[in-house]
Amino acid sequence: MNKLEVSNLNLFYGDNHALKDISLKIPSRQVTALIGPSGCGKSTLLRTLNRMNDLVEGVKITGEVKFEGKDIYSDVDVKQLRMRVGMVFQKPNPFPMSIYENVAFGLKAQGIKDKRKLDEVVEESLRGAALWDEVKERLNSPAFGLSGGQQQRLCIARAISMQPEVILMDEPTSALDPIATHKIEELMDELRKKFTIVIVTHSMNQAKRISDKTAFFWMGELVEHGETSQVFNQPSDKRTQGYVSGEFG
Ligand SMILES: Nc1ncnc2c1ncn2[C@@H]1O[C@H](COP(=O)(O)OP(=O)(O)OP(=O)(O)O)[C@@H](O)[C@H]1O
């Protein structure tokens, strides 16, 4: 089943036609990687999936993005949508508060005050982000005291706490060292069992290692998409071939 379906999507930043007639199906409980050279529109596409581009002045969007069959650009509560389609950014961005409060933040904003319920979700989310064992003794310490990799897993825990169905990740490991990157990649293997994941990555090795499907973008166009092994081993377009073989990019 497809969780998200993008159809004939065009996006303009003023005169800049950043996404050109994109159609892409994103299957449930799989990892879809968006790859391509800098400026080709990967992050822009990712942000259209939970309407983050709405915040950009002068943006114009045509076409459709269906989430579970419903167009998110027509009658949809954007706040609700962003709870169901969460996001993790390139640079870990914990809030300036404790580890516990970071994870409980969204629930508290929803008006949940029951301490037992909050404790339960905080633990579950931190376990889900493979961070619990490292922080259980210091939940009330500031989140900024964690390492970069731990902070990124905290941000994943914060996203999970809202029980989203989709997690969008914009180069989530590009600010991390190889060990922290490896931990996040291992975690993604667990996350895919429960969530639909869409990840923008500059690392072709990462896309190969962690994704089920890959979509290759080139100057705002979706050139090719399909099974990751097929896109990397038998690309049908010369541009994909050039990019995945490292000729350019
Ligand atoms: N907020 C914005 N306002 C105006 N133009 C933007 C904005 N964000 C992106 N663009 C433009 O849209 C195009 C696509 O950018 P985007 O960031 O989506 O590409 P990308 O493939 O994610 O690049 P990178 O790999 O470098 O992050 C570029 O021409 C970029 O300059």
pLDDT tens sequence across 101-125: 999 999 999 999 999 999 999 999 9
Position 248 confidence tier, pLDDT thresholds 50, 70, 90: confident
Q: Please give the DSSP secondary-structure letter assigned to residue 22.
A: E
Q: Is the CB of 38 under 6 A from ligand 1?
A: yes
Which three-class secondary structure state does DSSP give residue 171? coil
pLDDT value, residue 73: 93
pLDDT value, residue 108: 96
Q: Is the CB of 73 under 6 A from ligand 1?
A: no
Q: Is the CB of 40 under 6 A from ligand 1?
A: yes
CA distance 122 to 104: 6
Provide the angle, in degrees to the nearest 10, between the axes of the packed helices 148-160 and 115-128: 130
Which three-class secondary structure state does DSSP give residue 64? strand
Work out the mean pLDDT of the chain and round it to a whole number: 95
pLDDT value, residue 199: 97
Q: Convert the pLDDT of each residue in 25-55 to its tens digit.
A: 999 999 999 999 999 999 999 999 999 998 8
Position 211 confidence tier, pLDDT thresholds 50, 70, 90: very high
Position 75 confidence tier, pLDDT thresholds 50, 70, 90: confident
Q: Convert the pLDDT of each residue in 168-189 to its tens digit.
A: 999 999 988 999 899 999 999 9
CATH 3.40.50.720 fits 2-244, yes or no: no
Q: Is the CB of 60 under 6 A from ligand 1?
A: no
Report the atom number in ligand 1 closest to the C-alpha of 34. Answer: 21
**Ligand 1 pocket: which of 12, 16, 173 to mutate (most atoms <8 Å of CB)?**
16
pLDDT value, residue 54: 86
Query: Across residues 181-198, what is the average pLDDT?
Result: 94
pLDDT over threshold 80, residue 134: yes
Where are the alpha helices (H) located in 110-222, listed in sequence order?
115-128, 132-135, 148-160, 178-191, 204-210
* Residue located nearest, by CA, to atom 23 of ligand 1: 39
* Residue located nearest, by CA, to atom 5 of ligand 1: 13
* Residue located nearest, by CA, to atom 24 of ligand 1: 38
Q: Is the CB of 135 under 6 A from ligand 1?
A: no
Q: How far is the CA of 246 from the centre of ligand 1 (A)?
A: 22
Q: Is the CB of 92 under 6 A from ligand 1?
A: no
pLDDT value, residue 247: 80
Position 249 confidence tier, pLDDT thresholds 50, 70, 90: low
Q: Where are the domains of the chain?
A: 2-244
* Residue located nearest, by CA, to atom 31 of ligand 1: 39
Distance from the first to the final alpha carbon of the chain: 32
